[in-house]
Structure 1
Amino acid sequence: QCRIIKDHFSVYKLPTTPLFITRDFSPDCSSVVHSQKAMTDQPQTDLGLYKPPQTVRGMTELDRAAFSQTVSVPAIRIPTIILNKVVKSLKKVALQRPGLKRVVEEHNEDGNKDSSKGEHRLLLLDPNSITSADSFGSEEAEALKAYGVAQEIQKYQLKLTYENLKSEEILRAVLPEGQDVTSGFSRVGHIAHMNLRDHQLPYRKLIGQVIIDKNPGVTCVVNKTNTIDSTYRNFQMEVLAGESNMVAKVRENGVLYEFDFSLVYWNPRLSTEHERIVSLLQRGDTVVDVFAGVGPFVIPAARRGCEVVANDLNLEYFCWLQHNAKLNKVDRKIT
């Protein structure tokens, strides 16, 4: 009896209840991953706040200091005694920037700190939301009135540095105008895996460094340089930035895997599909996976109480499968 579970995943139930998992692959992996949309696409940023210096356009070697710039942002003056309450009420329109304090001290016209005993602070506001005193929504306006805060806007001169910018802003400033900007990638442990387009390749080293700078825990960025080999399911890659250590540690659905990402195929987008298929199994089932890879199906199945027979043509897969079975203490349940 054959029951189709998904387009390219089939489950075959035999009278003796073994369960076979088969997967149809194409050389470009289109049958498994139908979309190349990055898993970590950045949200739309407030590009109106940052006007990059023209000197960074076309940069191929990252110069962080070149991105520094002073911009004018709206701010509202709040008594210190009620600061926390008002800030909470205005959180939807407050300025949100990486590494940036949104509450600052007042300054005099000469640029020095105000010496008025710190009775007031300035809350920096998002210039995309607040352009004048009339820009506040009814909810914010009512809160300001209730706390007795004047609905008046000041201009604050804010210094933005590379640390305060988002990856999309940096790359949009560097790449030629009108060309696609990518700040998305697939993450495999400490490795960020990118699929750059041809027009982005001259900037690949800079892109890799920006990804490391803006994503804690990422210490290596690679770019795929050819299509996936249809026999052994791996591909050539170039290290764009960071360390060259390709042995990744990945935890998926409560299972720990280790493997050399340069020698095996691993797609983090298949995590949900792995979990869904394994959830169909019951304790005592016999599972045969003839394309076992590093074990994303058979190790969870063994942990579920199934008897497992696993194989793979690629010796690298097979070695890491054995390693991961021992790592998860199910090596006696897998043949």
Structure 2
Amino acid sequence: MRRLATVLTFYNSLLPTVKNPPSLVLERNTDVHFPVPSFLSGSAVTMADRRVKRRLDDSSAWSSAVSASPEIKSPEELENYVIREDSILVALRPEQQKAFAEKGFFRKLVKNHKKALLTPCLKDLVVPDGVRCFAVNGWDKLDPDLRELIKAEAVLYHEFIHTRTYQDLSLDECLRLLGDSHGVMVSFETVGHIAHLNLPNERLWAKHIIAKILLDKHKHIRTVVNKVKEVENEFRTMELELLGGDDDLVAIQHENGHSFQIDFRNVYWNSRLIRERERLSDSFYMGDVVVDMFAGVGPFAIYAAAKGCLVLANDLNPTGTRYIEINAKLNKVSDRVFAHNGDARQFVEEVATGDIMDKRTTVYRDHALKPENKVHFVMNLPKDAIEFLDALKGLAKGVPADNVRTCMVHCYCFSDADNVEADIDARIHKVLNAHISKEITTVRDVSPKKHMYCIEFNMPKELLCDG
């Protein structure tokens, strides 16, 4: 182990100068997530003399071990793709691997190919007891001194040609076949069995190839769609193009112990808001009343009902309202969720006035209320929600100020202003004609300059009582 410590100290001194190291592929013991640099796998750096150190310090000694892949122009070309790689099998003792793992060397450079050792030329290879095997791809691209170092220090050294087809490649490796060595960056949202893409124009040529890769390489995906244009209609639904798989856009999304049935073509859903749903639900307590003015299929409503809240949920889209009821039943909270279909202003006037605003009300729709229970107004319509804040004015008219429940507003908005707080202040003041003490939370990035925010504040009682 003293010799190994010397190896690690030596390698540590080289870290700042090492660029573009060779590709390391974990070939055996795939449950281990800490591969080690194979050229340091021996018990001592017997060749680590000044000449080798100079070569290691010279960044030109490290060339990329993976050549830029030829472009794939069709699903058929992808299906028939074959690559032959010169590889070297090396072995490490467990104590070496443990020491390297503690240092975290090369952890992020490993590509896990579980089937590699099934290569016919390796099936009969005798591996010494107590060692783990790794492979270095792009052997011919390594500096000659490094190759000699590996040969001298590896417990086991074996050259072989590794042939892989499209079926052997990972999802990320397949995407790299579509362009240069940096690959094609493809982000997608999953909704149950659906992969939802939002491809930029420069990637549209590859849309059917990308769909094939996702369907073949992601075991849970059965349908791939691409958003054709931005959301513009009043129901916040998208125009989608089916790129591959089943034409089935009704999915079940599982999230934090909740299940949501979603008609992705006809209702609004955003999987990226999962953290925001968690965060907001932390502000709900058993017995609180949650008024969800723009509920969609009911994600906030279901989270709140699961916390023991009484939920009044509304959506303008009748399909959305139907799925609120479906999801309440699916999550066994139907007795606490009341769905409504219509305009948000009318909804608030009908259900959120008088009784629920009064601390003296002890029962509402067969649900017990306590004076300390709050009323939460959730307004998840970022494009326009601020414009609806005036619908809350006067909701407690006729209720003595001392008896008005605490009314918490959670209002979402977009802003691309340099001074976000000033922008939001001005917009709220324009609607409420009042300056509000509030907290602003950044929810997500919409574009490099545009962001989504949640504005949270206690609605002033004078606005609730007098309007």
Query: What interval of TM-score do these two structures reach, taking the shorter chain for normalisation?
Result: 0.5 to 0.7
Q: Secondary structure at the match of 1:262?
A: coil
Change (3 A) 1:234 1:153: same
The equivalent residue for 1:165 is 169
Q: Secondary structure at the match of 2:160?
A: strand
Q: Is the 8 A contact 2:66 2:138 kept in 1?
A: no
- Provide the rounded CA distance (Å) in 2 between the counterparts of 1:105 and 1:123: 16
Q: Is the 8 A contact 1:50 1:71 kept in 2?
A: no
5+ residue gaps in structure 1?
1-44
Alignment of 1:41-56 (within 5 A): 48-51=64-67, 54=70
- Provide the rounded CA distance (Å) in 2 between the counterparts of 1:118 and 1:327: 53
Q: Secondary structure at the match of 2:328?
A: helix
Q: How many residues were matched structurally?
A: 269
Q: Is the 8 A contact 1:133 1:151 kept in 2?
A: no
Q: Is the 8 A contact 2:127 2:156 kept in 1?
A: no
- Provide the rounded CA distance (Å) in 2 between the counterparts of 1:97 and 1:244: 33
Change (3 A) 1:95 1:169: closer
Query: TM-score, with normalisation over the residues of structure 2?
Result: 0.50
Q: Is the 8 A contact 1:284 1:306 kept in 2?
A: yes
Q: Secondary structure at the match of 1:159?
A: strand
Q: Secondary structure at the match of 1:63?
A: helix
Change (3 A) 1:152 1:133: farther
Distance apart, 1:65 and its partner CA? 4.5
- Provide the rounded CA distance (Å) in 2 between the counterparts of 1:156 and 1:122: 17
- Provide the rounded CA distance (Å) in 1 between the counterparts of 2:157 and 2:236: 59
1:123 to 109, 112, 133: 133
Change (3 A) 1:194 1:67: same
5+ residue gaps in structure 2?
1-21, 25-63, 339-467
Q: Secondary structure at the match of 1:244?
A: coil
In structure 2, give the amino acid aligned to 1:218.
I
- Provide the rounded CA distance (Å) in 2 between the counterparts of 1:310 and 1:119: 65
In structure 1, give the amino acid aligned to 2:212.
Q
- Provide the rounded CA distance (Å) in 2 between the counterparts of 1:256 and 1:228: 25
2:195 to 192, 195, 207: 192
The equivalent residue for 2:46 is none
Distance apart, 1:135 and its partner CA? 5.8
C-alpha root-mean-square deviation of aligned residues, in Å?
Answer: 3.8
Alignment of 1:135-150 (within 5 A): 150=154
2:160 to 147, 156, 159: 156
In structure 2, give the amino acid aligned to 1:229.
E
2:281 to 254, 278, 282: 278
- Provide the rounded CA distance (Å) in 1 between the counterparts of 2:187 and 2:224: 12
Distance apart, 1:219 and its partner CA? 1.0
1:97 to 112, 120, 125: 112
- Provide the rounded CA distance (Å) in 2 between the counterparts of 1:222 and 1:122: 42
1:324 maps onto 2:327 in alignment: yes
- Provide the rounded CA distance (Å) in 2 between the counterparts of 1:77 and 1:296: 51
The equivalent residue for 2:244 is 241
1:70 maps onto 2:84 in alignment: yes
1:292 maps onto 2:276 in alignment: no
- Provide the rounded CA distance (Å) in 1 between the counterparts of 2:335 and 2:132: 64
- Provide the rounded CA distance (Å) in 2 between the counterparts of 1:122 and 1:163: 25
Change (3 A) 1:178 1:51: closer
In structure 2, give the amino acid aligned to 1:279.
D
In structure 2, give the amino acid aligned to 1:265.
Y
Q: Deviations along 1:254-307, whole A, 9 cap, x unmatched? A: 111101111111111101111111111111111111101111111121121111
Q: Secondary structure at the match of 2:76?
A: coil
Q: Is the 8 A contact 2:89 2:158 kept in 1?
A: yes
Q: Secondary structure at the match of 1:213?
A: helix
Q: Which has the higher contact order (CA 8 A, sep 6+)?
A: 1
The equivalent residue for 1:35 is none
Distance apart, 1:212 and its partner CA? 1.4
- Provide the rounded CA distance (Å) in 2 between the counterparts of 1:319 and 1:135: 66
Q: Is the 8 A contact 2:191 2:253 kept in 1?
A: yes
The equivalent residue for 2:268 is 265
Q: Is the 8 A contact 2:171 2:217 kept in 1?
A: yes
Change (3 A) 1:236 1:179: farther
Change (3 A) 1:330 1:105: same
- Provide the rounded CA distance (Å) in 2 between the counterparts of 1:74 and 1:90: 20
In structure 2, give the amino acid aligned to 1:72.
D
Distance apart, 1:50 and its partner CA? 4.6
1:224 maps onto 2:234 in alignment: no
- Provide the rounded CA distance (Å) in 1 between the counterparts of 2:260 and 2:231: 21
Change (3 A) 1:305 1:59: same
Change (3 A) 1:104 1:205: closer
Q: Is the 8 A contact 1:103 1:123 kept in 2?
A: no
Distance apart, 1:66 and its partner CA? 3.0
Q: Secondary structure at the match of 2:177?
A: helix
- Provide the rounded CA distance (Å) in 2 between the counterparts of 1:259 and 1:250: 7
Change (3 A) 1:264 1:134: farther
Q: Deviations along 1:15-35, whole A, 9 cap, x unmatched? A: xxxxxxxxxxxxxxxxxxxxx
- Provide the rounded CA distance (Å) in 1 between the counterparts of 2:326 and 2:201: 37
- Provide the rounded CA distance (Å) in 1 between the counterparts of 2:314 and 2:112: 49
1:214 maps onto 2:229 in alignment: no
Q: Deviations along 1:224-283, whole A, 9 cap, x unmatched? A: 001112510111101111111111101112111101111111111101111111111111
The equivalent residue for 2:365 is none
